[in-house]
Amino acid sequence: MATGTAMFDLSGKTALITGSSQGIGFALARGLAQAGAAIVLNGRDTTKLSDAAATLRAEDATVYELAFDATDNAAVAASIDGFEADNAIDILINNAGMQHRTPLHEFPADKFEQLLRTNISTVFNVGQACAKHMIARGAGRIINIASVQTALARPGIAPYTATKGAVANLTKGMATDWAGSGLNCNAIAPGYFDTPLNAALVNNPEFSAWLENRTPAGRWGKVDELVGAAVFLSSDASSFVNGHTLFVDGGITACL
């Protein structure tokens, strides 16, 4: 087994990141590429996907594009199986997700169902499709993107909170079922990061002031600050870490 900084080297590995044309997904794709991995970008918007791929290729990354709807189980399986016919996916980061903010007693039923499909079904669909190949090889890394809302609630996002709690428990289930086959299944729970998903909050002075006072670090997170956790969980450095949710949140879950 590699030692020292070599434990974090991802050279020769291929990583699929869902929802990776922007925001956290793109930052993680770039970070894993810088650690040596070939990258498989995923999204539904082929134009945005191509633009993201071009950016990474200009930085000398090896990049593939795999456009599929992660909520569609059959489409996911077909895409993953097709890619695996010629390439092995060693690392999966389940990042696809959405948010919808409405008081719970007024929350639209269709949005609730959409949140379930986007935030939970995608983790199951892509995780299962990749795991079948990883199990056959006896090795693989799966990282699910949870949230600070995995542990905390906030007004107006109760269904989102429920989905992210489910992601953490599904991660534990993946580890329980698949660790014996050589897979490491963990989650990263970001705190409040300046991303397109959080644009409405970032642009709200009152909320930003509240967040800065509530977070021990005193600020919003920067997406690049998630890269270290992702590289760690993707690498040999975390070989005996399984079923864990790693909070990267500036300390917000550590204090009242």
What's the 3-state SS for the chain?
CCCHHHHHCCCCCEEEECCCCCHHHHHHHHHHHHCCCEEEEEECCHHHHHHHHHHHHCCCCCEEEEECCCCCHHHHHHHHHHHHCCCCCCEEEECCCCCCCCCHHHCCHHHHHHHHHHHHHHHHHHHHHHHHHHHHHCCEEEEEECCHHHCCCCCCCHHHHHHHHHHHHHHHHHHHHHHHHCEEEEEEEECCECCHHHHHHHCCHHHHHHHHHHCCCCCCECHHHHHHHHHHHHCHHHCCCCCCEEEECCCHHHCC
Hey, what are 53's tokens?
A: 């791929």
Strand pairing category for 38-43 and 63-67:
parallel
Rounded Cα distance between 78 and 90, Å, is 18
Concerning whether 160 is annotated as a catalytic residue, the answer is yes
Hey, what are 130's tokens?
A: 């990749």
Q: What is the average pLDDT score of the chain?
A: 97
Q: How confident is the model at residue 4, as a pLDDT?
A: 81
The domain spans of the chain are 4-254
Annotated catalytic residue, options 112, 124, 160, 232: 160
Q: Are 40 and 49 in contact (CB under 8 A)?
A: no
Q: How confident is the model at residue 181, as a pLDDT?
A: 98
Mean pLDDT, residues 207-214 taken together: 96
Q: How confident is the model at residue 196, as a pLDDT?
A: 80
Q: Are 31 and 10 in contact (CB under 8 A)?
A: no
Q: How confident is the model at residue 200, as a pLDDT?
A: 87
Q: What is the dihedral of CA 148, 152, 156, 161, to 10 degrees?
A: 70
Global pTM? 0.96
Mean pLDDT, residues 211-218 taken together: 96
Task: Tell which CATH architecture fits domain 4-254.
Answer: 3-Layer(aba) Sandwich (3.40)
Mean pLDDT, residues 59-70 taken together: 98
> Using one digit for the tens of pLDDT, what is the confidence trace for 147-202?
999 999 999 999 999 999 999 999 999 999 999 999 999 999 999 999 887 888 99
State the pLDDT confidence band at 3, using cuts at 50, 70 and 90.
Answer: confident
Rounded Cα distance between 152 and 136, Å, is 37
- Does the pLDDT of residue 2 top 80, yes or no? no
- Does the pLDDT of residue 1 top 70, yes or no? no
Rounded Cα distance between 133 and 116, Å, is 25
- Does the pLDDT of residue 41 top 70, yes or no? yes
Rounded Cα distance between 12 and 37, Å, is 6
Which of 39-43, 87-91, 196-200 is predicted with the least confidence, judged by mean pLDDT?
196-200
